[in-house]
Amino acid sequence: MTIKASEIKVGDTFEEVLVEDLKRTQLVMYSGTSGDYNPLHTDDVYCREAAGYPGVFAHGMLTMGMTGRVVTNLFGAENVKKYGVRFTNQVWPGDDLKGAAVIEDIRQEGGETLVDLKITTTNQNGDVVVTGNATGRVDA
């Protein structure tokens, strides 16, 4: 269910489990749909023996995509006006990720009711992997 301006207030927080025990197969799925076939995300041998990483890690855009579900569940995909993130830590197979959105502002602009969100995604250790902001249209 998407949110309505009349049902929310600044400071309200919405949390969502984005993934539990992230699987390498999901990294492969995301490579396939996005077209980002960087072997850093699919090829453990390449990562360990050629690139100097302990193994494959998630595409930043996969983490952003999963985090975006918090935004689209609140606004509906058709109502998202802005969505941006910074990638602050890598995400690894086996990670559990939780996304949180805090209502920062509810405002009128151009005849629309807009809501600004501050977004944070954390892993099972409490490390922040993504921070960001989003703006969407809501019903009054």
Partner 1 sequence: MTDEKTITMPVEATHIMMFRRSIGDFSVDDTGLEDAAAPPTFPQSVAQFDKDYFLRIKPGEAWFGSGKNPSGVEGQAASSGGLHAEQHFEFERPIRPGDVLSVVTKPGKTWEKESKRAGKLMFSERITEYRDQNGELVCTARGVGVKTERPVDQG
- Does residue 33 interact with partner 1 by CB under 8 A? yes
Q: How far is the CB of 98 from partner 1 (least distance, A)?
A: 13
Cβ atoms of 65 and 80 within 8 Å: the answer is: no
Bridge partners, residue 128, by sequence:
122
Q: Which one among 3, 56, 74, 85 touches partner 1, defined by CB under 8 A? A: 85
Cβ atoms of 52 and 98 within 8 Å: the answer is: no
- Does residue 32 interact with partner 1 by CB under 8 A? yes
Cβ atoms of 74 and 99 within 8 Å: the answer is: no
Q: Identify residues 53-82 at the interface with partner 1 (CB under 8 A).
A: 53-54, 59-62, 64-66, 68-69, 71-73, 76-82
- Does residue 18 interact with partner 1 by CB under 8 A? yes
Q: Name residues whose C-beta falls within 8 Å of residue 71's C-beta, 6 or more positions apart in sequence.
A: 80, 83, 101, 117, 119, 134, 136
What residue ranges bind partner 1 (CB under 8 A)?
A: 18-19, 26, 29-30, 32-40, 42-43, 45-46, 48-54, 59-62, 64-66, 68-69, 71-73, 76-87, 90, 134
